[in-house]
A = this chain, B = another copy of it.
Amino acid sequence: MGILNGKDFIDRLNQLQNEIWYDGNKIEGNISEHPAFKGLLQTKASLYDLQIAPNIKDEMTFFHEGKKDPIGLSYLQPRTREDLKKRRKMIEHWARHTHGLMGRSPDYMNTVIMSFASSASLLNGMENCFPENIQSLYERAMEQDLSFTHTFITPQVNRSQINLGFSDVPISAKVVEKNEKGLVIKGARLLATQGGLTDEVLVFSAPRLFFDPDEAFAFSISSNTKGLRFICRESFVLGESLFNHPLSSRYEEMDSIVVFDNVLVPWDRVFFYNNVDASTDFITQSSFHAFAYHQVVIRQIVKTEFILGIAQILVETINVSEYQHIQEKLSEMIIGLETMKALLEKSEEDAKTDEWGYMRPSIIPLQVVSNVFPKIYPRFCEIIQLIGASGMVTLPTENAFQTNVRRDLDLYLQADSKNAEERVKIFRLAWDLTMSSFGTRQTQYERYFFGDPVRLASNLYRQYDKRKHVEAVYNFLNL
């Protein structure tokens, strides 16, 4: 079939009847009608509809050799710099539609699947590795335009460096049995964004110091696999009013704990298992990071543009553009945005064909963004708060504007160039982005998207080629 539209996405998801627990209840009936998920799923449906939108569908799809129907362009394996630019364009379309606020827009996971397939050969001939299953996942995903989430964070029992994390009862999900049908998995993963709200779950492990072979696996299974359970956090949807909660009503993605209660993973779904080296190499040497970072950075740029737009509107609304410290704060945002754009372009300009023939963006500029964005995004949210000041606090609701006190609000909440309703709308948006529970979760999400910031800095330092600069100094000193 190729690309999916919004309605089909929702219908298919409703049929899956995934096991999702929310506030102590197992969700029954159509997930798309549940108040905590409704807004998000409608937004997601509208994203799928972009693929058939007449004005951009050509930029959202491509024709894959041997397939009749158009395929989502997020599945395109780039072989040229032009392909990379096409991918960028497509990612921008997805991102613009949600202003960069949806971390798990479909293109993200599609890109991950594409990168896995592009590097599958890396596993050829390695023990307990089934690269062919990656390829068939890629085919299946393309043809059915499957939706995915992934999960790789292990439970946080003890983060001490000297804690090996072994325990009698499996806590972190691991292989507890291997039989003719497949692997049996028991344990948990923290967290899956949109866990239970997708067709499948891609499960793999992040390499680490003391890597238990039983955890060194990767596979993808249907979200409604028996024994697979998603336990949600509190929802940050506070109502359907776009006026009151313009962002959380549309973009609250939900996160869940993923429980594997003796889940059977059929052999044809297993990519590899019980192979620490393969597991480590596949994450660090495949094109996974390069392509995933590429998608993420594009989305973050769009988000930064959105936040800059909001900041500037606040400035104009209360007329503070003349203040030096305001100018400096806005220029901070501009610097952040332009820096990210330049680094993105450099990663594309410096892209190189990898050993399997795919055009891989240069990772260093993207790694730089991965070190920078987790710091500047929270700062930009802070800047929004500093501009809005006390105006961020006393914001009436949509209903207040439907009553007798509207007269008061119209008079006392008017702004320089905006009426009261417009002003409140603007400030509520600023508030929802930076101060609502939805907003602060977004901040935490961006802060940790790429992992522990301390480790990101170490990695950049270690992986960066410092040799030629060192040599230049030695030459200067005749050493």
Contact = CB atoms under 8 A, between A and B. Distances in A.
Interface of A: 21, 23-25, 96, 99, 153, 155-163, 169, 171, 187-188, 190-191, 229, 231-234, 244, 246, 255-257, 259, 261, 305-306, 308-310, 312-313, 316, 318-320, 322-325, 327-328, 330-332, 334-335, 338-339, 341-343, 345-346, 349, 364-365, 368, 371-372, 378, 382, 385-386, 389-403, 405, 408-409, 411-416, 422, 425-426, 429, 434-437, 439-441, 443-445, 447-448, 452, 454, 457-458, 460-462, 464, 466, 469-474, 476-477, 479
A100 to B, nearest CB: 11
A418 B173 CA distance: 21
B310 A229 contact: no
How many copies of this chain are found per oligomer?
4
22 contacts: A23-B397, A24-B401, A24-B403, A24-B405, A157-B318, A190-B412, A231-B396, A231-B400, A308-B469, A324-B325, A331-B458, A331-B460, A331-B461, A332-B457, A334-B368, A339-B339, A339-B368, A389-B444, A389-B452, A392-B444, A393-B444, A437-B437
B448 A390 contact: yes
The 6 closest A-B pairs by CB, nearest first: A24-B399, A309-B469, A188-B412, A309-B473, A342-B342, A435-B440
A143 to B, nearest CB: 33
A420 to B, nearest CB: 10
B435 A441 contact: yes
A65 to B, nearest CB: 32
Contacts of A372: 335, 339
A341 to B, nearest CB: 7
A21 B339 CA distance: 45
A349 B24 CA distance: 55
B309 A23 contact: no
A393 B441 contact: yes
Nearest to A326: B461
Contacts of A323: 161, 454
B322 A160 contact: yes
A231 B335 contact: no
Given A313-B470, A327-B462, A461-B330, A408 B231 contact: yes
A233 B479 contact: no
A423 B216 CA distance: 28
B234 A395 contact: yes
A153 B390 contact: yes
A188 B411 contact: yes
Given A339-B339, A349-B349, 10 more contacts: A155-B412, A190-B412, A246-B477, A255-B393, A257-B413, A308-B469, A313-B470, A327-B458, A385-B447, A393-B444
A308 B378 CA distance: 21
Nearest to A350: B345
Interface centre among A364, A389, A398 (most CB of B within 10 A): A389
A256 B305 contact: no
Contacts of A99: 472, 476
